[in-house]
Structure 1
């Protein structure tokens, strides 16, 4: 019998790859997505479509009310999304305070209710410069807490924590994954903008892999 796991699935290319990695590992995947008021809510539609096609359980949880407490990010507030690479200081405007601690806590609670012992999470090294809650020390401490927060310990599994988005894409392309089924852009418009940090890093990963991104971009 396959082991139950929860995969935090945003609909982006990192969590898309993690989702398939868990499936390839023989896990019984339960996908969990969050509507936290992100302007790129379009990613949730992509997540739902993938889960339907794979016939895996998928919950989308509306936690957008948290924005009354943790505003100030260009992803959730009326602040323009900065353009440029992730490592530029302006990208700190895209940090949603305490987001991943909140999402992981909810996912662990869901895992306990399913009698699942693992929560898969798609943090990677490209996030480390800007996002404190994607760094190895954060994941390690959260893992410590999740081992004692309930009667049953839950592991946070971050298969790509110490590698880059380029490496994630390399792995996904080896699995034959179609990244046209993912949404990365921080602007939730009809086409990806190609200029925000998320788009820049995605396009860089495709260039590094000598591959063509199947997603449509605005002319720029």
Structure 2
């Protein structure tokens, strides 16, 4: 019987690759998505469609009530999404306070209730510049806590923690994945903006791989 694991699945490129990687490694994934009030909620529609196609059990949990406590991000509040590369200081406006600690805590609880001992999420090196909760030291300490937080130890697994978005895409293209089934843009409009940090990093990854992004851009 294949190993049951929980995959935090946003509907974006990184978690899409992680989900498919887990399947190819023989795991039996339970996909978990969160509606935390993000303006790019469109990613959840993409996540649902992929899980339906793959036959992966999928839960979408509404935790948008947390915004009364952890506001101030361009992803959740009425603040313009900054344009530019992730390494620019302005992109710190897209940080949602404590987001991944909250999401991982919920995912670990779900894993314990389902008899799974691993939670996968798609942190990568391109996130390290501005997202503290995607850095190796955060993952290390979360693993220490998750080993003792329940009677059952749960491991936080980050297959691409030391890899760039370019490397993740390279791996996904080798798997034959269709990235037209993912949504990255922080603006949840009909087409991707091509200007926010998420779009720029995505487009850079496709250029580095000498590939064409199947998404339409404004």
Give the structure-2-normalised TM-score.
Answer: 1.00
* Number of the residue aligned with 2:173: 173
Q: Does 1:132 align with 2:132?
A: yes
* Number of the residue aligned with 2:60: 60
* Number of the residue aligned with 1:15: 15
Cα distance in 2 for residues equivalent to 1:185 and 1:25:
29
Give unmatched runs, 5+ long, in structure 1.
none
Report deviation, 1:177.
Answer: 0.1
* Number of the residue aligned with 2:182: 182
* Number of the residue aligned with 1:30: 30
Cα distance in 2 for residues equivalent to 1:101 and 1:188:
24
Report deviation, 1:18.
Answer: 0.2
Cα distance in 1 for residues equivalent to 2:106 and 2:99:
11
Cα distance in 2 for residues equivalent to 1:28 and 1:17:
15
- For the residue of structure 2 that corresponds to 1:148, the secondary structure is coil
Mapping of residues 1-220 of structure 1, within 5 Å: 1-218=1-218
Report deviation, 1:208.
Answer: 0.3
User: CA RMSD for the aligned pairs?
Assistant: 0.3
Cα distance in 2 for residues equivalent to 1:92 and 1:31:
28
Give unmatched runs, 5+ long, in structure 2.
none
Report deviation, 1:199.
Answer: 0.0
Runs of 4+ in 1 over 3 A off after TM superposition: none
Report deviation, 1:114.
Answer: 0.5
Cα distance in 1 for residues equivalent to 2:19 and 2:171:
12
Cα distance in 1 for residues equivalent to 2:201 and 2:133:
18
Give the structure-1-normalised TM-score.
Answer: 0.99
Report deviation, 1:91.
Answer: 0.1
Alignment size in residue pairs:
218
Report deviation, 1:56.
Answer: 0.8
Cα distance in 2 for residues equivalent to 1:53 and 1:169:
20
